């Protein structure tokens, strides 16, 4: 990894950090500190990093908001990439110069055309949802309370409350070693919590089609979504959100509760007593291995008792 670090240190728009804790990088706060974190602040930086790492045959992983990631207990032996503030904001044209999101949205509302917005991948999904609803632009009410970046949300087709990213997505702007391109949403085979992005690409932005709607209607729906989350999810504890995808037969939470996993604990990790499909961290010393042990036990028990194979939604690195 020394060669990769030396190569990245020479690139413009790249900030390198060492020993960044899991608590800073993820909402769960489990796992070892990251050996090398590269923060990318421009599309050109993303292209250059991809090119340099490809030339060195150096593996890497991309991290968004870290809201569904569990880092390993051992230090990673590859660089972790994350987008910086240079890729926050929005524009009226695909790939256009990024403005503060509110400024771009105000310009959008001055037009009578169908509202369409290009958003930088490092932009906070929750902030985007809050701002759009306050301006009477519908399409992201479902995202209230989802602690993700836009890029990370696109990469997994994040969703809640009956809505998801794919509902509004027009195209995805990606960077890679060979350059940059726009991929139509129809080419990404998007499904429930899935999006098939080409290997070796970094999402740097995405274009969304919105709908004009009354401000109060938007705010009401977003507020109801937030209230539901607060009533049913353990938002007061560190977590990585939903553990398993909901199978077609029943919700994952119902299956886990029926199989006795609500409140099941291993070390410093517990299936929440408030929502069985959420793992929460109860101790600062909690381990990734404890997460893996609970996941495996739950999958085996549900398979044995319900003949259903649960698919993890959280990602163990």
3-state SS record for 12-62: CCEEEEEEECHHHHCCCCCCCCEEEEEEECCHHHHHHHHHHHHHCCCCCEE
Query: Has 301 been annotated as catalytic?
Result: no
Q: Give the Cα separation of 71 and 265 in Å (integer).
A: 19
Using DSSP's 3-state secondary structure scheme, residue 63 falls into strand
Q: Kindly name the residue from 124, 242, 272, 288 that is annotated as catalytic.
A: 242
Active-site annotation holder among 116, 193, 209, 245 = 193
Active site residue 313: yes
Q: Which tokens is 302 given? A: 């549900």
Q: Is 160 exposed, middle or buried (0-12, 13-18, 19+ CB in 10 A)?
A: middle
Cβ-count burial 85-118 (b if 16+ within 10 Å, e if not): ebbbbbbbeeeeebbebeebbeebeeeeeebbbb
The CB-based long-range contact list for 251-254 (8 Å cut-off, 24+ gap) reads 251/277, 252/276, 252/277, 252/310, 253/277
Annotated catalytic sites, by residue? 193, 242, 313
């Amino acid at each position: 990894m020394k060669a990769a670090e030396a190569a990245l240190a020479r690139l413009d728009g790249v900030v390198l950090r060492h020993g960044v804790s899991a608590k800073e990088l993820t909402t769960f706060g489990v796992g070892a500190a990251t050996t090398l974190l590269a923060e990318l602040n421009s599309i050109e930086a993303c292209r250059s990093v991809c090119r340099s790492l490809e030339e060195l045959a150096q593996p890497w992983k991309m991290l968004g908001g870290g809201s569904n990631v569990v880092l390993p207990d051992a230090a990673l032996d590859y660089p972790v990439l994350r987008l910086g503030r240079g890729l926050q904001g929005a524009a009226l044209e695909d790939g256009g110069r990024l403005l503060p999101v509110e400024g771009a949205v105000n310009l959008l509302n001055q037009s009578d055309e169908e509202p369409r917005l290009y958003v930088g991948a490092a932009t906070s999904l929750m902030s985007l949802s809050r701002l759009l609803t306050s301006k009477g632009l519908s399409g992201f009410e479902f995202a209230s309370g989802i602690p993700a970046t836009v890029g990370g949300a696109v990469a997994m087709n994040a969703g809640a409350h009956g809505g998801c990213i794919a509902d509004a997505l027009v195209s995805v702007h990606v960077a890679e070693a060979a350059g940059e391109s726009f991929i139509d949403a129809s080419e990404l085979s998007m499904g429930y919590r899935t999006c098939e992005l080409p290997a070796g690409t970094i999402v740097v932005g995405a274009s969304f089609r919105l709908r004009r709607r009354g401000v109060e209607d938007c705010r009401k729906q977003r507020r109801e979504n937030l209230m539901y989350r607060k009533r049913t999810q353990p938002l007061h504890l560190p977590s990585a959100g939903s553990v398993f995808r909901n199978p077609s037969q029943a919700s994952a939470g119902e299956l886990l509760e029926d199989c006795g996993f609500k409140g099941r604990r291993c070390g410093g990790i517990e299936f929440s007593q408030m929502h069985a499909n959420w793992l929460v961290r109860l101790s600062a010393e909690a381990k990734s291995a404890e997460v893996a042990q609970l996941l495996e036990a739950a999958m085996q028990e549900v398979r044995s008792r319900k003949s259903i194979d649960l698919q993890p939604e959280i990602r163990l690195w």
